[in-house]
Structures are given as structure tokens and as C-alpha cells.
């Protein structure tokens, strides 16, 4: 599975879906349903994903640093921009990847490519 086949393979929401390609500007994600820490697994390895209010995030398993677009929708498609990772198998590569997501107050699912990642809010 790919890391952000989550926020990303990890992010799936449930409201009225749509495409969210908004610019990533400091503080623009403060109302995002992704904000916070999420626990899940990537290829059976434990992972914690953290989404910040400044539209940046990280993955513990993949050592990933990424940005994501501002969205307040509970489902849709986002483009995740990974700027660094540790090279672990099943992690998103450096660069841009489109992922579908569904998220609520306690659960987050991402589908990037064919892999689905499920996370629970910490």
C-alpha cells in the first residue's frame, strides 16, 4: 500500500464530494476535517499521520513530509505533494499524487492508486 494512498490512500470524507485544488497558504487549512493526529497501518506497519493547520503534514512510518490543499469537504479528491520520505515500501513517492478521501470526526480513509488506507483519530 502507498502511504498516502491516505491522506491520504489515507483520506476519504463524507459530505458533498468534489475536487479541492486550493492553494496551500499558511493557515488556510484551519477548518479542514483532516487537522490532527491519525493512527493506522501501512502494509501492516503502524503509522501516525499528522495534519497541521498550515496545510502541511507528516507520516511516521514513511518519514514523509507533505502538503495538502485546503478543504472543508468530508469527501473528494486532493493532490498530495510529498517533499521527502524515507524510502519505505508502500509509501507515496516524492512528488504529487491525487487521492480520494472520506473523513469524519473519528475516521479517515485515503485511496491513492489502488490502495486504501484507514486511520482513526487520536
Range of the domain at 59: 19-121
Residue 112 lies in a domain: yes
In a domain, 35, yes or no: yes
Nearest to 21 by CA among 110, 98, 106: 98
Residue 4 falls within a domain, yes or no? no
Please tell me the total count of domains within the chain: 1
In a domain, residue 82? The reply is: yes
CA distance 85 to 40: 17
28 or 12, higher pLDDT: 28
Structure confidence at residue 43 (pLDDT): 87
* Burial of residue 46, with CB atoms counted within 10 A of its CB: 0-12 exposed, 13-18 middle, 19 or more buried: exposed
Give pTM, 2 decimals.
0.78
| Mean pLDDT confidence for 19-34 | 66
Q: What CATH number did the domain enclosing 37 receive?
A: 2.40.128
48 has a pLDDT exceeding 60? yes
- CA within 13 Å, CB half, 102: 8
Amino acid at each position: 500500500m502507498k502511504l498516502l494512498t491516505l491522506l491520504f490512500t489515507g483520506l476519504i470524507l463524507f459530505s458533498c464530494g468534489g475536487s479541492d485544488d486550493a492553494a496551500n497558504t499558511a493557515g488556510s487549512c484551519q477548518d479542514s476535517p483532516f487537522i490532527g493526529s491519525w493512527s493506522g497501518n501501512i502494509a501492516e506497519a503502524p503509522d501516525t499521520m499528522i495534519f497541521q493547520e498550515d496545510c502541511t503534514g507528516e507520516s511516521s512510518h514513511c518519514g514523509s513530509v507533505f502538503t495538502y490543499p485546503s478543504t472543508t469537504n468530508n469527501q473528494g479528491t486532493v493532490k498530495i505533494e510529498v517533499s521527502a520520505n524515507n524510502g519505505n515500501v508502500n509509501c507515496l513517492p516524492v512528488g504529487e499524487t491525487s487521492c480520494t478521501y472520506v473523513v469524519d470526526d473519528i475516521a479517515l480513509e485515503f485511496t491513492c492508486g489502488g490502495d486504501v488506507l484507514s486511520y482513526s483519530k487520536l
